[in-house]
Structure 1
Amino acid sequence: MSRKVDVPVSDVRRFLEPGPVVLVSSADRGDTDIMTMGWLTVMEFTPSLVGCIISSANHSFGLIRRSKACVINLPTADLIDTVVGIGNTTGAEIDKFAHFGLTAEPAVHVAAPLIAECHANFECRLVDGCLIDKYNFFIFEVVKAQAAARPKHPETLHYLGGGAFMVSGRIISRRSKFRPEML
Protein backbone atom coordinates (compact mmCIF):
# COMPACT_ATOMS: atom_id res chain seq x y z
CA MET A 1 0.00 0.00 0.00
CA SER A 2 1.28 3.46 -0.82
CA ARG A 3 2.05 6.09 1.79
CA LYS A 4 -0.95 8.08 2.90
CA VAL A 5 -1.10 11.87 2.73
CA ASP A 6 -3.41 14.31 4.48
CA VAL A 7 -6.42 15.45 2.47
CA PRO A 8 -8.70 18.38 3.25
CA VAL A 9 -11.73 17.24 5.26
CA SER A 10 -13.86 19.05 2.70
CA ASP A 11 -12.72 16.41 0.17
CA VAL A 12 -13.83 13.31 2.10
CA ARG A 13 -16.87 13.01 -0.12
CA ARG A 14 -14.57 11.79 -2.91
CA PHE A 15 -14.10 8.67 -0.80
CA LEU A 16 -17.44 8.31 0.98
CA GLU A 17 -19.99 9.12 -1.71
CA PRO A 18 -19.67 6.18 -4.06
CA GLY A 19 -23.43 5.86 -4.57
CA PRO A 20 -24.93 6.66 -7.95
CA VAL A 21 -25.94 10.13 -9.05
CA VAL A 22 -29.72 10.29 -9.36
CA LEU A 23 -32.25 12.64 -10.90
CA VAL A 24 -35.05 13.55 -8.51
CA SER A 25 -38.30 14.58 -10.17
CA SER A 26 -41.04 16.40 -8.34
CA ALA A 27 -44.39 18.08 -8.93
CA ASP A 28 -46.74 20.37 -7.07
CA ARG A 29 -49.60 22.63 -8.16
CA GLY A 30 -48.90 22.06 -11.86
CA ASP A 31 -45.17 22.81 -11.54
CA THR A 32 -42.57 20.09 -12.18
CA ASP A 33 -38.84 19.99 -11.64
CA ILE A 34 -35.83 17.71 -11.86
CA MET A 35 -32.74 18.05 -9.71
CA THR A 36 -29.41 16.24 -9.83
CA MET A 37 -28.45 14.59 -6.55
CA GLY A 38 -25.01 13.15 -5.83
CA TRP A 39 -25.74 11.70 -2.41
CA LEU A 40 -28.47 9.69 -0.75
CA THR A 41 -28.49 6.87 1.75
CA VAL A 42 -30.46 3.68 2.11
CA MET A 43 -31.70 3.70 5.70
CA GLU A 44 -33.78 0.52 5.90
CA PHE A 45 -34.68 -2.38 3.64
CA THR A 46 -38.27 -3.17 4.73
CA PRO A 47 -39.94 -0.80 4.48
CA SER A 48 -37.53 0.63 1.93
CA LEU A 49 -36.37 3.95 3.41
CA VAL A 50 -34.06 6.43 1.68
CA GLY A 51 -32.67 9.61 3.21
CA CYS A 52 -31.28 12.64 1.40
CA ILE A 53 -30.48 16.29 1.82
CA ILE A 54 -32.16 18.81 -0.47
CA SER A 55 -31.00 22.40 -0.15
CA SER A 56 -33.76 24.82 0.74
CA ALA A 57 -32.34 27.05 -2.03
CA ASN A 58 -33.22 24.39 -4.60
CA HIS A 59 -36.50 24.83 -6.51
CA SER A 60 -37.32 21.16 -5.88
CA PHE A 61 -37.20 21.67 -2.11
CA GLY A 62 -40.54 23.49 -1.99
CA LEU A 63 -42.23 21.16 -4.48
CA ILE A 64 -41.19 18.07 -2.54
CA ARG A 65 -41.91 19.55 0.87
CA ARG A 66 -45.44 20.59 -0.13
CA SER A 67 -46.31 17.45 -2.12
CA LYS A 68 -44.50 15.10 0.29
CA ALA A 69 -43.40 12.99 -2.67
CA CYS A 70 -40.84 12.61 -5.44
CA VAL A 71 -39.38 10.06 -7.85
CA ILE A 72 -35.75 9.05 -7.59
CA ASN A 73 -34.63 8.23 -11.14
CA LEU A 74 -31.40 6.36 -11.90
CA PRO A 75 -29.66 7.67 -15.04
CA THR A 76 -26.92 5.79 -16.85
CA ALA A 77 -23.54 7.13 -17.94
CA ASP A 78 -24.83 8.02 -21.42
CA LEU A 79 -26.91 10.78 -19.78
CA ILE A 80 -23.90 12.52 -18.17
CA ASP A 81 -24.29 15.80 -20.07
CA THR A 82 -27.99 15.89 -19.20
CA VAL A 83 -27.20 15.16 -15.54
CA VAL A 84 -24.69 18.04 -15.42
CA GLY A 85 -27.03 20.36 -17.33
CA ILE A 86 -29.90 19.68 -14.95
CA GLY A 87 -27.61 20.36 -12.01
CA ASN A 88 -26.54 23.69 -13.49
CA THR A 89 -30.04 25.06 -14.13
CA THR A 90 -33.06 25.88 -12.04
CA GLY A 91 -36.59 24.69 -12.56
CA ALA A 92 -37.75 28.11 -11.37
CA GLU A 93 -36.62 29.46 -14.77
CA ILE A 94 -37.01 26.57 -17.24
CA ASP A 95 -39.04 23.41 -17.79
CA LYS A 96 -36.24 20.88 -17.45
CA PHE A 97 -38.20 18.06 -19.10
CA ALA A 98 -38.66 20.14 -22.27
CA HIS A 99 -35.25 21.82 -22.15
CA PHE A 100 -33.32 18.53 -21.85
CA GLY A 101 -35.64 16.47 -24.06
CA LEU A 102 -36.71 14.09 -21.30
CA THR A 103 -39.95 12.16 -21.30
CA ALA A 104 -42.20 12.62 -18.25
CA GLU A 105 -44.30 9.53 -17.59
CA PRO A 106 -47.02 9.27 -14.97
CA ALA A 107 -46.17 7.51 -11.73
CA VAL A 108 -48.58 5.09 -10.09
CA HIS A 109 -48.52 6.27 -6.46
CA VAL A 110 -47.20 9.86 -6.53
CA ALA A 111 -47.89 13.00 -8.56
CA ALA A 112 -44.24 13.47 -9.53
CA PRO A 113 -43.40 12.17 -13.02
CA LEU A 114 -41.01 9.35 -13.87
CA ILE A 115 -38.15 10.05 -16.28
CA ALA A 116 -38.56 7.47 -19.07
CA GLU A 117 -34.93 7.70 -20.22
CA CYS A 118 -33.60 6.55 -16.82
CA HIS A 119 -32.73 2.92 -16.11
CA ALA A 120 -34.83 2.78 -12.93
CA ASN A 121 -37.53 4.83 -11.20
CA PHE A 122 -38.39 4.78 -7.50
CA GLU A 123 -41.62 6.44 -6.42
CA CYS A 124 -41.19 7.91 -2.95
CA ARG A 125 -43.39 9.36 -0.24
CA LEU A 126 -42.09 11.48 2.62
CA VAL A 127 -42.45 9.40 5.80
CA ASP A 128 -40.47 11.53 8.24
CA GLY A 129 -39.85 15.25 7.96
CA CYS A 130 -38.54 15.86 11.50
CA LEU A 131 -35.06 16.76 10.22
CA ILE A 132 -36.10 19.04 7.35
CA ASP A 133 -36.15 22.31 9.27
CA LYS A 134 -32.81 21.71 10.96
CA TYR A 135 -30.82 19.83 8.28
CA ASN A 136 -32.89 19.82 5.06
CA PHE A 137 -32.88 16.03 5.51
CA PHE A 138 -35.82 14.16 3.98
CA ILE A 139 -36.70 10.55 4.78
CA PHE A 140 -38.66 8.82 2.04
CA GLU A 141 -40.30 5.44 1.73
CA VAL A 142 -40.02 3.86 -1.72
CA VAL A 143 -43.59 2.82 -2.52
CA LYS A 144 -42.97 1.53 -6.07
CA ALA A 145 -39.79 0.51 -7.83
CA GLN A 146 -39.20 -0.38 -11.45
CA ALA A 147 -36.05 -0.97 -13.48
CA ALA A 148 -35.18 -1.94 -17.02
CA ALA A 149 -34.63 -5.69 -17.38
CA ARG A 150 -31.35 -5.08 -19.22
CA PRO A 151 -28.61 -4.44 -18.61
CA LYS A 152 -28.64 -6.14 -15.23
CA HIS A 153 -25.77 -3.92 -14.05
CA PRO A 154 -26.03 -0.55 -15.84
CA GLU A 155 -23.13 1.88 -16.04
CA THR A 156 -24.07 4.46 -13.42
CA LEU A 157 -22.44 7.78 -12.58
CA HIS A 158 -20.74 8.46 -9.25
CA TYR A 159 -19.80 12.04 -8.39
CA LEU A 160 -16.34 12.61 -6.93
CA GLY A 161 -16.54 16.39 -6.51
CA GLY A 162 -14.73 19.04 -8.51
CA GLY A 163 -16.68 18.21 -11.68
CA ALA A 164 -15.29 14.64 -11.85
CA PHE A 165 -17.41 11.51 -12.18
CA MET A 166 -16.58 7.84 -11.96
CA VAL A 167 -18.53 5.31 -14.02
CA SER A 168 -19.43 2.04 -12.31
CA GLY A 169 -17.03 -0.67 -13.31
CA ARG A 170 -16.75 -4.42 -13.44
CA ILE A 171 -18.93 -6.61 -11.27
CA ILE A 172 -17.29 -8.94 -8.75
CA SER A 173 -19.59 -11.61 -7.31
CA ARG A 174 -19.00 -13.26 -3.94
CA ARG A 175 -22.59 -14.52 -3.64
CA SER A 176 -21.44 -18.04 -2.69
CA LYS A 177 -19.63 -16.67 0.38
CA PHE A 178 -22.75 -15.01 1.84
CA ARG A 179 -25.14 -16.58 4.31
CA PRO A 180 -28.54 -16.79 2.53
CA GLU A 181 -30.23 -14.45 5.04
CA MET A 182 -27.58 -11.79 4.34
CA LEU A 183 -28.26 -11.56 0.58
Structure 2
Amino acid sequence: MAKQSLPLSEVYGLLEPGPVVLLTTAGEDRPNIMTLSWHTMIEFEPPLVGCVLSNRDYSFDLLRRSGECAINIPAVDLAEKVVGCGNTTGRETDKFATFGLTPVPAARVKAPLIDECFASLECEVFDDGMVEQYGFFILQVIEAWIDPLQHDPRTLHHRGKGAFMIAGETVRLPSRMK
Protein backbone atom coordinates (compact mmCIF):
# COMPACT_ATOMS: atom_id res chain seq x y z
CA MET A 1 0.00 0.00 0.00
CA ALA A 2 1.36 3.43 -0.89
CA LYS A 3 1.38 6.08 1.79
CA GLN A 4 -0.53 9.32 1.24
CA SER A 5 0.51 12.86 2.07
CA LEU A 6 -0.69 14.02 5.49
CA PRO A 7 -1.41 17.69 6.19
CA LEU A 8 1.19 19.07 8.60
CA SER A 9 -1.64 20.30 10.85
CA GLU A 10 -2.44 16.66 11.61
CA VAL A 11 1.05 15.54 12.71
CA TYR A 12 0.17 16.32 16.34
CA GLY A 13 -2.37 13.47 16.36
CA LEU A 14 0.36 11.00 15.43
CA LEU A 15 2.91 12.04 18.06
CA GLU A 16 0.67 13.00 20.97
CA PRO A 17 2.90 12.12 23.90
CA GLY A 18 0.66 11.17 26.78
CA PRO A 19 -2.59 11.50 28.64
CA VAL A 20 -4.55 14.70 28.77
CA VAL A 21 -3.88 16.30 32.15
CA LEU A 22 -5.40 19.07 34.23
CA LEU A 23 -2.81 21.65 35.22
CA THR A 24 -3.77 23.67 38.28
CA THR A 25 -2.32 27.01 39.30
CA ALA A 26 -2.92 29.34 42.23
CA GLY A 27 -4.50 32.65 41.28
CA GLU A 28 -4.97 35.82 43.28
CA ASP A 29 -8.77 35.43 43.33
CA ARG A 30 -9.10 31.68 42.93
CA PRO A 31 -7.19 28.67 41.61
CA ASN A 32 -7.43 27.76 37.95
CA ILE A 33 -7.57 24.55 35.93
CA MET A 34 -6.18 24.20 32.42
CA THR A 35 -6.60 21.16 30.19
CA LEU A 36 -3.19 20.29 28.77
CA SER A 37 -1.95 17.64 26.38
CA TRP A 38 1.33 19.15 25.16
CA HIS A 39 3.73 17.63 27.68
CA THR A 40 6.60 15.19 27.74
CA MET A 41 8.96 13.53 30.20
CA ILE A 42 12.45 15.00 29.96
CA GLU A 43 14.31 13.29 32.83
CA PHE A 44 13.50 10.43 35.19
CA GLU A 45 15.36 11.39 38.39
CA PRO A 46 14.62 13.99 39.38
CA PRO A 47 11.44 13.82 37.31
CA LEU A 48 11.36 16.71 34.82
CA VAL A 49 8.33 17.37 32.64
CA GLY A 50 8.21 19.74 29.70
CA CYS A 51 4.90 21.52 29.07
CA VAL A 52 3.81 23.95 26.37
CA LEU A 53 1.36 26.67 27.39
CA SER A 54 0.26 29.41 25.04
CA ASN A 55 0.98 32.93 26.24
CA ARG A 56 -2.72 33.61 25.50
CA ASP A 57 -3.78 31.18 28.25
CA TYR A 58 -4.70 32.50 31.68
CA SER A 59 -2.64 29.68 33.25
CA PHE A 60 0.47 30.87 31.39
CA ASP A 61 0.46 34.12 33.40
CA LEU A 62 -0.34 32.34 36.67
CA LEU A 63 2.49 29.83 36.18
CA ARG A 64 4.97 32.55 35.21
CA ARG A 65 4.12 34.57 38.34
CA SER A 66 3.99 31.74 40.87
CA GLY A 67 6.66 29.41 39.47
CA GLU A 68 4.63 26.38 40.54
CA CYS A 69 1.66 24.25 39.59
CA ALA A 70 0.17 20.78 39.91
CA ILE A 71 -0.33 18.28 37.12
CA ASN A 72 -3.43 16.20 37.80
CA ILE A 73 -4.06 13.05 35.77
CA PRO A 74 -7.73 12.20 35.21
CA ALA A 75 -9.19 8.87 34.17
CA VAL A 76 -11.64 8.64 31.26
CA ASP A 77 -14.67 8.97 33.57
CA LEU A 78 -13.80 12.69 33.84
CA ALA A 79 -13.67 13.18 30.04
CA GLU A 80 -16.59 15.61 29.81
CA LYS A 81 -15.21 17.75 32.65
CA VAL A 82 -11.72 17.67 31.10
CA VAL A 83 -13.07 18.90 27.75
CA GLY A 84 -15.26 21.46 29.51
CA CYS A 85 -12.24 22.88 31.34
CA GLY A 86 -10.38 23.03 28.03
CA ASN A 87 -13.18 24.92 26.31
CA THR A 88 -13.56 27.52 29.09
CA THR A 89 -11.31 30.38 30.16
CA GLY A 90 -10.31 30.72 33.80
CA ARG A 91 -10.23 34.50 33.44
CA GLU A 92 -14.04 34.47 33.60
CA THR A 93 -14.92 31.12 35.15
CA ASP A 94 -14.29 29.28 38.41
CA LYS A 95 -13.68 25.91 36.79
CA PHE A 96 -13.72 23.99 40.09
CA ALA A 97 -17.26 25.20 40.82
CA THR A 98 -18.49 25.06 37.21
CA PHE A 99 -17.33 21.49 36.58
CA GLY A 100 -17.85 20.06 40.06
CA LEU A 101 -14.20 19.32 40.78
CA THR A 102 -12.79 19.30 44.30
CA PRO A 103 -9.65 21.32 45.13
CA VAL A 104 -7.40 19.67 47.72
CA PRO A 105 -4.48 21.52 49.36
CA ALA A 106 -1.09 20.38 48.09
CA ALA A 107 1.79 19.63 50.45
CA ARG A 108 4.47 21.84 48.86
CA VAL A 109 2.86 24.17 46.29
CA LYS A 110 0.02 26.68 46.48
CA ALA A 111 -1.79 25.24 43.47
CA PRO A 112 -4.46 22.77 44.56
CA LEU A 113 -4.64 19.12 43.62
CA ILE A 114 -7.85 17.76 42.07
CA ASP A 115 -9.41 15.09 44.30
CA GLU A 116 -11.19 13.29 41.45
CA CYS A 117 -7.95 12.67 39.52
CA PHE A 118 -6.16 9.36 40.13
CA ALA A 119 -2.72 11.00 40.34
CA SER A 120 -1.33 14.46 41.09
CA LEU A 121 2.18 15.86 40.70
CA GLU A 122 3.28 18.96 42.57
CA CYS A 123 5.72 20.90 40.40
CA GLU A 124 8.06 23.88 40.43
CA VAL A 125 9.38 25.64 37.34
CA PHE A 126 12.89 24.22 36.86
CA ASP A 127 13.86 26.01 33.64
CA ASP A 128 12.04 28.83 31.86
CA GLY A 129 14.68 29.49 29.21
CA MET A 130 12.35 28.54 26.34
CA VAL A 131 9.17 30.14 27.67
CA GLU A 132 9.42 33.44 25.79
CA GLN A 133 10.01 31.89 22.39
CA TYR A 134 8.07 28.63 22.63
CA GLY A 135 5.90 28.73 25.77
CA PHE A 136 7.89 25.68 26.91
CA PHE A 137 8.19 25.30 30.68
CA ILE A 138 10.40 22.62 32.22
CA LEU A 139 8.86 21.57 35.53
CA GLN A 140 10.42 19.51 38.30
CA VAL A 141 8.07 17.17 40.12
CA ILE A 142 8.72 17.71 43.83
CA GLU A 143 5.89 15.59 45.26
CA ALA A 144 3.71 12.88 43.70
CA TRP A 145 0.40 11.37 44.79
CA ILE A 146 -1.62 8.41 43.52
CA ASP A 147 -4.97 6.86 44.44
CA PRO A 148 -4.11 3.24 45.39
CA LEU A 149 -7.71 2.16 44.77
CA GLN A 150 -7.58 2.98 41.05
CA HIS A 151 -5.73 0.16 39.27
CA ASP A 152 -4.72 0.69 35.62
CA PRO A 153 -6.99 3.69 35.08
CA ARG A 154 -7.92 4.34 31.46
CA THR A 155 -6.65 7.74 30.36
CA LEU A 156 -7.79 10.16 27.68
CA HIS A 157 -5.40 11.07 24.84
CA HIS A 158 -5.96 14.04 22.52
CA ARG A 159 -5.64 13.30 18.80
CA GLY A 160 -6.47 16.86 17.67
CA LYS A 161 -9.55 18.71 16.45
CA GLY A 162 -11.93 17.25 19.05
CA ALA A 163 -10.80 13.63 18.57
CA PHE A 164 -9.66 11.59 21.57
CA MET A 165 -8.36 8.09 22.12
CA ILE A 166 -8.81 6.09 25.30
CA ALA A 167 -5.84 4.13 26.62
CA GLY A 168 -6.36 0.43 26.23
CA GLU A 169 -4.82 -2.76 27.45
CA THR A 170 -1.45 -2.72 29.22
CA VAL A 171 1.13 -5.14 27.84
CA ARG A 172 4.42 -6.06 29.48
CA LEU A 173 7.50 -6.80 27.37
CA PRO A 174 11.11 -7.49 28.38
CA SER A 175 13.00 -4.29 29.26
CA ARG A 176 16.46 -3.46 30.56
CA MET A 177 14.98 -0.38 32.25
CA LYS A 178 14.44 -0.86 35.98
Q: TM-score, normalised by structure 1?
A: 0.94
CA RMSD in angstroms, aligned pairs only: 1.1
Correspondence list, 1:25-174, <5 A: 25-174=24-173
Alpha-carbon distance between aligned partners in 2 of 1:116 and 1:45, rounded to the nearest angstrom: 25
* Paired AA for residue 175 in structure 2: F
* Paired AA for residue 122 in structure 1: L
Structure 2 match to 1:178? 175
Alpha-carbon distance between aligned partners in 1 of 2:129 and 2:23, rounded to the nearest angstrom: 20
Structure 2 match to 1:23? 22
Indicate the percent of aligned positions where both proteins have the same amino acid. Answer: 48
Point out the more displaced range, 157-166 or 29-38: 29-38
Alpha-carbon distance between aligned partners in 2 of 1:178 and 1:90, rounded to the nearest angstrom: 42
The answer as to whether partners of 1:27 and 1:70 remain within 8 angstroms in 2 is: yes
Number of paired residues? 178
How far off is 1:18 after superposition? 4.0
Which stretches in structure 1 are left out of the alignment for 5+ residues? Answer: none
Alpha-carbon distance between aligned partners in 2 of 1:86 and 1:33, rounded to the nearest angstrom: 10
Alpha-carbon distance between aligned partners in 2 of 1:69 and 1:5, rounded to the nearest angstrom: 43
The answer as to whether partners of 1:105 and 1:114 remain within 8 angstroms in 2 is: yes
The answer as to whether partners of 1:26 and 1:64 remain within 8 angstroms in 2 is: yes
* Paired AA for residue 79 in structure 1: L
Moved over 2 A (4+): 28-31
Which stretches in structure 2 are left out of the alignment for 5+ residues? Answer: none
The answer as to whether partners of 1:28 and 1:66 remain within 8 angstroms in 2 is: no
The answer as to whether partners of 1:20 and 1:39 remain within 8 angstroms in 2 is: no
Alpha-carbon distance between aligned partners in 2 of 1:147 and 1:173, rounded to the nearest angstrom: 21
Alpha-carbon distance between aligned partners in 1 of 2:52 and 2:175, rounded to the nearest angstrom: 32
Residues 86, 67 of structure 1: CA spacing in aligned structure 2 closer, same or farther, 3 A cutoff? same
Q: TM-score, normalised by structure 2?
A: 0.96
